[in-house]
Each structure stands twice: as C-alpha cells, then as structure tokens.
Amino acid sequence: MSNPLLETYKTPFGTVPFEEIKEEHFLPALETAIKEGLAEVDAIAQNSAPPTFSNVIEALEEAGEQVERISTVFFNLNSAETNETIQKLAREISPKLTNYGNDILLNEALFKRVKIVWEQKDTFSLTTEQALLLEKTYNSFTRNGANLSEANKQRLRKLDEEIAQHSLQFGENLLAATNDFKMFCTEEEVAGLPEGVKEGAFHDAEEAGEKGKYLITLHMPSYLPFMTYAQNRALREKLFKAYGSKAYADEKYDNREHVLAIARLRHERAQLLGFETHAHFVLAERMAKSPQKVNFFLEELKGPAMPAAKKDLEELKNFAADTDQLKELQKWDTAYYAEKLKQARYEIDDELLKPYFEVKSVINGAFTVAKKLYGITFEERQDIQKYHPDVITYEVKDQAGKHLAVFYADFFPRKGKRNGAWMTIYRQQKMQNGQDLRPHVSIVCNFTKPTAKTPSLLTFNEVLTLFHEFGHALHGIMAKGTYASLSGTNVYWDFVELPSQIMENWCYEKECLYLFAKHYQTGEPLPEEYIERLRKSATFMEGRATARQLSFATLDLSWHAQDPSEITDVGAHEAAVFKPFSLLPAVHGTNMSCQFGHIFQGGYSAGYYSYKWAEVLDADAFELFKEKGIFNATVAQAFKKLLEAGGTVPPDELYRQFRGQDPDPKALLRRAGLIEENG
C-alpha cells in the first residue's frame, strides 16, 4: 500500500496532502521514518572522520526530518480534528516518539562526537547562529541525560514515557469532559442572551435532537456569553460549577491522579539531571533564568495589582447591590455584573461592537495591518488541501510578490477540536541545499459560528485573540534563518509571546480599526465615539484580570518550583495557593489544576508567567510605535528584523537591537492603568 506520508508531497508548495492521508497511514509511516531516522543518526555517530560542526551538528539538524514532518501532521490533527481512532493512535505513537528521542539523546557514541565539537568550538570560526545551534544541540543532550550512568539513563527513559502518557490522558479527559456537558434551556431560561448566541444555541439543540430548546455547552463561544449575559442566576451557577469542575473528581474523567503524577515525575526527572526542581530545569533556558527571578517579577506586579483588584471588586459588589439588591456577589456573578457596569460606565458592550467585527473583515484587517507594516500580502487559494472544510488556505507573498509562506486559518469550534486558540507550524522555514524552504503556518481558534441568518460576528475579545494568534503566525511567516530549530517561533518561551501580544495593541487604535471595522450590513465604519469608549474601557477591571493571571502563574510554580511529593490532595493544595488572591468565596468542587492544559498538556510548565513577562516586552515595544506612529516604516522595519531573526540571536540582544534599551517593567503598569502615566 502506498503511503502519502512517506512520499514527496506533489502538492502546491509541498503542502500536506490532507485529503489523501488516512488514519491507517500514520503508524506504519512513523515506524518507517523512525527506523530511517535512527539509521541517519547512527551514520553520524559512527563516522570515522574527525568531528566537525558540519558532519555532526548540521548533519544532526537534518537527520530524522521525516519523523518531524509526520508527527507534526499527526499531533496537529489530534488537537484540531481528533476522534477516538486518532486518540488511540496517539497513545501508541507517543511512547514510540519518546523512545526515538531518547535513542538519539542517550546515544553515547553520538554524544561523544557532539561533546568534542562543543569543546573545540573556538577552532571552528562559527557565526552567531551556528554557535547558538551548537549550544542548543549540546544542551539538548546534557539536559536529557547524556552524562548519566546507564541505570539512570534507563530511569530517564521510563520517566519520559510515563510523563508523555499521563499528559496525553490528561488532554483526552479534559476534551471528553468538555464535550460531555450539555445544558438544554427553554426560551425563558436564555433571557438576556444576544440574539446571535440564541440562534446558534437553538440550532445546536436541534442538531442534538432537542428541537425547540437551546443548547449551552462548556465550549467558550457558548459558555462565555451565557456567563456574561444570562439573567438566570441559578443556571449561571450551574454552568460555572460545571466548567470549574471539568475533569476534577469526575467518575469518568478524573485528572487528579495525572496532575500529581506529572508533577512528581517531572520533579524526579529534574533531580536526576542535577536540577533542584522542574522549574530550575525549565528556566535555565528562559530569559528569566531562575524561579527566584520569576517570583520577584510576580511580586513586583502583585504589589499594585491586588489593591486595584480589591477596588474593582468593591465597585462590582456595590453595583450589583444597587442594581439587583444582590447581598453576596459570587464567582458566577462577576462576568454578568462586570458587563453591566461596563455598559453603564462606558456605554459600550459586545453587542454594540460585534456587527462591526465580521470574521472575514477582521482577518482581512489583520492582513492589511501586516501589509502596511511589512509589505506582505495574503491571497486565498482553493488548490491547497485541508483537514476540514472550515479551514481557509492562503498563499503569503512578500513586498516583491515572491512566495513567502502558506497560511491556514481554522476559526470555528467542533467536537474534534480542543478549546482555546493556538498557532502551529506544519513546515518550518530553513535553508535546504542553498534554497530558502518557506514555512507552512496555521492558526486555530474557537469563534462563534455563523448561522443561517448571521455571519460569524466576533466579540472584541475574539478580535484580540485573532490578532494575537496572527502575531504568532507572522513570527513563523517572516522567518529568515538557516536552521529549522532556530527559525521562527523557536525562541525562548518567555520571548515567544512578544510578537503575538504586541499585535493586540493595534486593535485599540483608530488608524487600524478604520481599516476593517465596518458594519456587516451597512458598511458603515465603527463610529469614532465607540472607539473612544473602547479605549477608555481597555483598563476596566484590569486589577482583577492581572490578579487572575498572577494566581495562575503562581499555581504553575507551586507545582513545579518545589518538591511536590508531599502534595496528596490537588484541591487542598490549589486552595492554599489561591488564598492570597481570593477576593470572593471559593466554590466547592471546582479546580483549575485539573483543567490547566497549558502546564499539564501544553508546553507552559514553569512558564505560565511568560504571558505577563511578554506583556512587559510588548507594552514597552508598542510605546515606540505610539511615539513614532503605529505604521511608522522605520519602527516596522526594525520589528520585522526581530521577527525574521527568530532564535538566531539571543532574545535580550535582539530586543535591545530593536528598542535601543532594556524593557521598562513600568510600561506594562502604565498601560494597565495600575500606576500613573508618570509613575
């Protein structure tokens, strides 16, 4: 049987032939690729020629390309278009890939040659990029047990397998628990919901066999509007508790044992490698460098954030008491009353703004911003294969009209797609045989679906999300490196959010909004008074929002910056961590850790602080755009160089090249309204 995954893709730009790939192709293709990859690695290890940067480090960079290509397609599908078969395959494929990685990183003959190149690096006249690749390669071996005894190497292999399996099961439980919950409501019970949301819920109920009802789920486009607008407080409570208890103390999908296991196994792994904790291990390759520095950073933000959060909450309590004589504000009330207070104070809300943010207009607006900043264009292509009909495919061209990248956009929720929004890459940019191999980049979101009557209209937060993920995409699209592992978004984890978060700033600027924010029925531009209200409301409840992010970052460190072996009760541990941040009564039966996919399934373990860290960078960076003009060509060209560089230059140095100085932490506090402008 021919296997398209093992053949050269005869598609436009060598894109993935999704329509030709079947589920049964993955396992045999990967097994073949692993065998070939190990043979390539063995040839490098057994080479009788003296070790050089070229015959060891560069050769290793190219080895196993098939494994990378196939596993990337598979795991992207497991996130965006999964099913029971793919999930079953993931449980089989994951340990094979873990073993494959360990077979390389624990290969003594190979490490011996890598070590010789490392020790003789001063004799090779390496460029900055080559020196970084050598350092990254050498560290990948030492950080994965190359210096360990044979017994400890075997233990490391076992730990990696167990972590991978627990992480996979964590994700499957979370997705299943999210999909399992269905709340069918009557017309009266959805009072307060916007018409577009009601229409979608009515259609979803009909599809689920409950004609005449409204279906509310735990997927964000359903959950968030209900918590924000539904007048029925009892149902808001029910939905909040269902969302908060996902995969926690759940008979079918309980993640408590996986949380405890992952934390303990990571700690043991870090200690085996000579690090105090998993956080020390992770942060050694971050801008922050140590848990102590991260804690100092979080405390620095917590100082002004907590008083502001308390003030925000007092306002909310008083408003709820005055409006509805509410005696005690609960967590299922905050989104509802915050929205009402925002409307009262700024006369702005999502329903007022949504008609101006039709999804196609917003993505075209993002494209226009990219063109004005970097001269690039996006053209929709019908001849690029997709993994689902919802996906839209584009060719990206540079200023001269030359091919730059392929871009996939996947906007709407469905059963096989995990919650949230993310950017991913199907092919990294790199130089291959003297040619610039251009990247294939994708963004995946979960926005409100179009209905029979209404196109997909985005909330302002969804507009921010789209621009955020598009910023990640630009980082991948603009890549201009020699080696795939240093290209595009392959940068330090606490630097990777800068290109995404800075893009959100344009969404508040009149000059940007006029490019795309037009009423989907009349074509009228977003009124200037709405933009002013939007800008004024930008820091609304920012104290609470900052405190929330700080609590999540602190929870992350609580699992990873200490020995977790004494933790036996996930709920009690989390309650203790959250106590200094708690401004409302805790809700029994809810738990964040068991659904904290960022740290137990994604790559953010000991790294959730990086969202706030990168906010400092993006606030400071955007101050330069504000000062010179948000589409200033000189500043845009300087930032373009930062995007193109990816991981080929150390991030601190790269930022200074752009900004001319180190980032100012007060820039974030100023933007958030947590200190005075001149504070």
pLDDT per residue as tens digits for the range 201-222: 999 999 999 999 999 999 998 9
pLDDT band, residue 447 (cuts 50/70/90): very high
**Cβ atoms 5, 29 nearer than 8 A:** yes
Q: What is the mean pLDDT of residues 451-457?
A: 90
Residue-wise pLDDT for 90-125, tens only, equals 999 999 999 999 999 999 999 999 999 999 999 999
pLDDT band, residue 678 (cuts 50/70/90): very low
Residue 167 scores a pLDDT above 60:
yes
How would you label 190-227 residue by residue, b for 16+ Cβ within 10 Å and e otherwise? bebbbebbbbbbbbbbeeeeeeebbbbbbbbbbbbbbb
pLDDT > 70 in the chain, percent:
99
Q: Show me where the domains of the chain are located.
A: 4-147, 181-244
pLDDT band, residue 653 (cuts 50/70/90): very high
Residue-wise pLDDT for 25-69, tens only, equals 999 999 999 999 999 999 999 999 999 999 999 999 999 999 999
Report pLDDT for 603: 87
pLDDT band, residue 677 (cuts 50/70/90): low
Q: What is the mean pLDDT of residues 65-93?
A: 96
C-alpha 546/C-alpha 585 separation (Å) is 19
C-alpha 206/C-alpha 197 separation (Å) is 14
**Cβ atoms 477, 469 nearer than 8 A:** no
Q: What are φ and ψ of residue 592, in 5° steps? A: -85, -40
Q: What is the mean pLDDT of residues 630-638?
A: 98
Active site residue 469: yes
Report pLDDT for 679: 40
**Cβ atoms 248, 589 nearer than 8 A:** yes
**Cβ atoms 22, 88 nearer than 8 A:** no
CB atoms within 10 A of CB 274: 12
What sign does the CA torsion over 386, 387, 391, 396 have?
negative
CATH classification for the domain delimited by 4-147, as one of 2.40.50.140, 1.10.3300.10, 1.20.1050.40, 3.40.50.720: 1.20.1050.40
Which residue in the list 58, 469, 509, 644 is annotated as catalytic? 469
Q: What's the DSSP call for residue 260?
A: H
Cα distances (angstroms) measured from residue 533 to each of 196, 346, 461: 23, 6, 15
316: Cβ–Cβ under 8 A, 6 or more apart, which residues?
329, 334, 337, 338, 341, 541
Token couple for 318: 């008083």
Residue 164 scores a pLDDT above 70:
yes
